A = this chain, B = another copy of it.
Amino acid sequence: MGIGDDAAVIAPGRDRLVWTVDVCIENVHFDRRFLSLADVGFRSLNSAASDLAAMGAQPLAALSSLVVPPRIAKRELRELGQGQAEASRQLKCPVVGGNISRGSELGVTTTVLGEVPRPIRRSGGRPGDDLWLVGDVGLARAGLLILSQGPRMQPTRHAAAAQERCVEAWRRPQALISRGRALRDRAHAGIDVSDGLSGDAQHLSEASGVRVVIEKPRLARALSDELSRVAELLGQDALTLALEGGEDYALLATGPRAKRPRWVRTIGRVEAGEGAVLEEPGRAARKLRGGFDHLAG
């Protein structure tokens, strides 16, 4: 452990503890052709912290466990640590320990402990709730596609800026900690959109035992201009990127209309029933496809 003991020591407050662990492995969760090691460090901490954001929790501290292939130089490890340190400062979440060992694949495991008086759970959604989106979806996947495929035509200056925004969304996702905290007394249920809106809407539906309806016109209005611009350059559908792209670490929550914060976008509603569907005026509601499954790949 960094602090020179077998385990890190933390003085708890009186709130509930929330606790998560996240693994990022090279060529499974990230590709070093498109990410610096500083990005890898930054992402890994934000990815873990995002689970806490979804529950309305404030991070207390993190432990980081690295697996390092022999080809990685000490300078590169320092870069990774710098990315973690940057995320740690932004999230106000000190990395209080961890360890390092050799392996053949680069891996960063991050466990984060946080606290919250009453956690927002996936299971709290109720019929009658609105479905709220906090933050942007689809940008990260669009950013990854730009990096891996390149755009199909020469971008204009506006489009170039939109591309940069998408690449940044993929390289440097930000866990929405303060937004999550602000949802504490407003939302009935919450989840972070790590697997794509489609998959995470289903997770919320299953945990709450409700039907989650995403209204296509409202979702379309909630998408950022940058996403539309970049989707066009890529020859992709913006809505599909929003529904099936992952790793944006936006938040999906449900709550009563009267408690809606001004910074959420309502993209649908919660009904009695089951499953997650996409509803379009004049057409039958379409069942949403499964989320990204790391074991399926």
Contacts and interface: CB of A to CB of B under 8 A. Distances in A.
Number of copies: 2
A42 to B, nearest CB: 19
Nearest to A116: B9
A21 interface: yes
Contacts of A97: 19-21
Given A5-B123, A6-B192, 13 more contacts: A1-B51, A4-B207, A6-B50, A6-B191, A7-B55, A10-B19, A19-B97, A21-B64, A63-B111, A67-B107, A102-B295, A103-B107, A104-B104
Interface stretch (A23-31, A148-156, A222-230): A23-31
A127 interface: no
A191 B13 CA distance: 27
Nearest to A122: B5
A23 B29 CA distance: 18
A98 B51 CA distance: 12
Residue among A63, A65, A206 with the most chain B CB within 10 A? A65
Contacts of A114: 7
A180 to B, nearest CB: 10
A1 B191 CA distance: 12
Contacts of A102: 28, 294-295, 297
Contact of A22 (B10, B96, B99, B104): B99
Contacts of A295: 68, 100-102
A294 B107 contact: no
Contacts of A111: 19, 21, 63, 111
A16 B20 contact: no
Interface of A: 1, 4-14, 16-23, 25, 27-29, 50-52, 54-55, 57, 61, 63-65, 67-68, 96-105, 107, 109, 111, 113-114, 119, 121-123, 191-192, 206-207, 294-295, 297
A21 to B, nearest CB: 5
Contacts of A19: 7-10, 61, 63, 96-97, 111, 113
B105 A23 contact: no
A20 to B, nearest CB: 4
Contacts of A294: 100-102
A17 B114 CA distance: 12
State the 5 A-B residue pairs at the shortest beta-carbon distance, nearest first. A6-B51, A12-B12, A7-B20, A101-B294, A7-B18
A51 B7 contact: yes
A113 B111 CA distance: 11
A14 to B, nearest CB: 8
Contacts of A8: 18-20
B297 A23 contact: no
A1 B20 contact: yes
A28 B123 contact: no
